[in-house]
Amino acid sequence: MTERAARRLMLVHAHPDDESINNGATMARYAAEGAQVTLVTCTLGERGEVIPAGLRHLSGAALGAHRRQELDAAMRELGVEDVRLLGGAGRYQDSGMMGLPDNDDPGCLWQADVDQAAEHLVAVIREVRPQVLVTYDDNGGYGHPDHIQAHRIAMRAVDLAADPAVRPDLGGPWRIAKVYWNRVPRSVAEAAFARLEDDLPELPFDTPATVGDVPGVVDDERVTTRIDGTAYAAAKAAAMRAHATQIEVAEPYFALSNKLAQPVFTTEYYELVRGERAGEMETDLFAGIAGIAGTEGTEEVAP
């Protein structure tokens, strides 16, 4: 059996590209430092809007298959080798934007039973045994149904994975030491958009987004953790560029299908929502976890 890495980070995201936009620098940094980085993606983004004209014929399952290839390419740029699809490829489909008829598709993630979906994630948690898990807040960062559902599934799975009475056939129970939600401090976002206004004439985008378009922006005091990923800025940009159906990159900015320019954040921010905070502003997701130099970095629950 392969020896388990001392530090193990799991990220739960809704669609391919979310991970690179939100956490690409963090993932690249920890992977380069030898941590086990596991990405769990809940859907293949089958209802995403395609940017390049030459790929707009893709939709549904064909788009999902293409986006899986983009995801694999992006993870190669970040040095991440462990990528899982929740319940297997195609188990849960993209739900589309909130309020659309797509939300009613019985096969979409929004219609999934949260406990059943969480059991798929429990199996991965108990296999990998991460000390840290990263996902969205309860609004999914910006209200997308798949992001909200990914949050619900992740938080439920954290509880279920630690319960010895839940699905013992999925492996021994495991309690995750720290759970974080993706965040951007309001002051950081405002400063980045001020720079964008100055740089816009030199960019291939005509219109800037606004701070309100950035998922997870909160007042600065909500932010507990800052991960400096500036050394991995090129890796993050390359990973985002790999998601060509969804993202157009003009470093240090990018745009989605709405063509609204926004910053690429290479220092990434988080809010600790479960676990013990290590200092006024953490600079390491694993900070304060006992015994992190070994494999006992979080509590394994006795059966």
- β-strand 82-85 against 36-41: which pairing, if any? parallel
DSSP state of 59: -
The residue type of 75 is: M
The residue type of 100 is: L
- β-strand 36-41 against 8-13: which pairing, if any? parallel
Are 146 and 136 in contact, with CB atoms under 8 Å apart?
A: no
Measured distance CA(57)–CA(151) in Å, rounded: 31
What length is written for the chain?
303
The answer to whether 15 is annotated as binding is yes
**Of 72, 75, 52, 53, whose CA–CA distance to 64 is shortest?**
72
Angle between helices 60-78 and 18-32 (to 10 degrees): 30
Are 172 and 186 in contact, with CB atoms under 8 Å apart?
A: no
The answer to whether 146 is annotated as binding is no
Measured distance CA(154)–CA(112) in Å, rounded: 13
Q: What is the dihedral of CA 64, 69, 71, 73, to 10 degrees?
A: -160
The answer to whether 243 is annotated as binding is no
What is the chain's Cα-based Rg?
19
Binding residues for Zn(2+), as ranges, are 15, 18, 147
Binding residues, as ranges, are 15, 18, 147
